[in-house]
Amino acid sequence: MENSKKTFYKYKKRFVSQRTKTKQDFIKWINSTFLTIMWLIIFLFVYYLWTLNANATLGYSIRDLDIQISQLQDQKEIIETKIDKIKSLDNISKDRYSNTDMEDSTNPISLIVKDNETYAYNY
């Protein structure tokens, strides 16, 4: 009989109350919720680092473009100054090729005035 008692207790189911089951389910729920929240926090942290890196890279690109814009504006001002210098009346009058094609306006040769026409200078 002693032997049968041992085998009987060996296969006997352990009694688990409803309260213990509820407590175990609650602990499982807390653990799963904790793990879910931890994964969410880790994901958001990685996403934050990625966004921060992307914005920093974009900031460097914007800074490079700003430098390029300022250099191009400086070049534009230099070119405009050169154009103004070349267009100035002193340079035109000093140019030996610009005076060769000019005529005296007091006795124009190529001006033709018709008799019955009105012109702007007649008014």
pLDDT at 34: 95
Task: Judge contact between 61 and 55, C-beta under 8 A.
Answer: no
Q: What is the mean pLDDT of residues 87-112?
A: 65
For residue 75, what are its two tokens?
Answer: 């070049």
Checking if the pLDDT of 12 tops 70, the result is no
Could you tell me the pLDDT band of residue 84, with boundaries at 50, 70 and 90? confident
Count Cα neighbours of 102 within 13 Å in the Cβ-side half-sphere.
10
Task: Judge contact between 62 and 68, C-beta under 8 A.
Answer: no
Pairwise pLDDT comparison (102 vs 29), residue with the higher score: 29
Measure the CA–CA gap between 105 and 81, rounded to whole angstroms. Answer: 32
Could you tell me the pLDDT band of residue 32, with boundaries at 50, 70 and 90? very high
For residue 33, what are its two tokens?
Answer: 């919720």
Pairwise pLDDT comparison (18 vs 31), residue with the higher score: 31
pLDDT at 110: 55
Q: Which of 69, 51, 72 is nearest to 61 (CA)?
A: 69
pTM: 0.41
The DSSP symbol for 121 reads G
Least confident of 45-49, 55-59, 77-81, 109-113: 109-113
